[in-house]
A and B are shown apart, each in its own frame.
Chain A
């Protein structure tokens, strides 16, 4: 049991970092906003943290600072972006994510060019990482129950209705942007401290794909979905070793099947199953799915 943890410590760390990243995407997706900006903040956060750690700054200073700075930037970013809808917003944030690596490659000694920054001193332990993730989950789950849950659910189904119900649509959007950016930056900062190297390629298209996969496959409605998603993308490839080079193919198929048959993610599917077996009610259609207390 214990050697299980030490043997798989890096996978556990990775899962924890991914939980944060998945939550950062969920926060916006839940409001019906397809923003991928948190991936860009992940990359920025990882570089900022890599440079600061190498400069000898303590993590207790770096982490809140990166999260705060990302959050403020995200808030500022949200203002001009808030007027974009649907795919246009996805596209704008995608461009933001992909322009960053180009700048980092050309960043000279500061960013280490094509190689990135390596040999970063180990600055954090798994247990403190765990505490941070738990704190974030507590905060997010409280927000889920509170104003944000109400506002975001209303926003996702009908923006005008939300407005007429007194939801300050624009303000909620900005806040969702800010929280998403802060979490993305925080996840990036932690990843640099744990994996001890950052490179310009690490934050590109692959991470966007990975982040979306986690948020969608796990389920968008709750932080539990993020945990499920992060767990799966980290561990399923380990279990799929036996399919060898077909691993990416199996992964792609799983993604397609989940989005087709469990549109509210595995969490949603589990909830429906649970509700059905407990209440013995007729199978619920999607719009009538039952929420189970968490």
Chain B
């Protein structure tokens, strides 16, 4: 469903991604873990075609993004780290606009908006301007725009960032509910979140993949995810008893 081959990215002369290769099959939920500045957001931006890789190949839903970027984008839902919301629009108008851009025909769009409002629990606020919503609602509007066209692949950059515990639970439940239907990649630096949602973990440090394994395998040793993470991303490995 998603595959990358030797993806590298330079900003000027600084290399932020080094030879990233991985494959993700349909229905998997994969967590990207990494310290701040590890290159998670850059990698997600490349996967979503927002940025071009300096070298390497990315295939999303059988489409090479450098050759068939449109088809790839049609199969892709993306929630960037900074919520891409037009604050002066109402929730419904915004979703309608998002649906039109994602080529949903007019009639199905009306029913689809209702479904998404239901799925993301946004019915109460559908006629409110987005500017007046709380952070948790805004986050769910962001997720709603990402899933409105039923994409095969969903990429979520720090979907629970800045939410209160109650809202984090709601958003996690929402993401968990998307399982099986879609391939999901999410990035976070909250380790417990990965343990609760993801089946597989990719740990990125300084632009390189330092671990790629199923959660069960990673946790097989007596270590917990926090120790593994600290060990892999620290230049001076801590001694784990």
Binding partners A and B: no
* A residues lining the B interface (CB < 8 Å): none
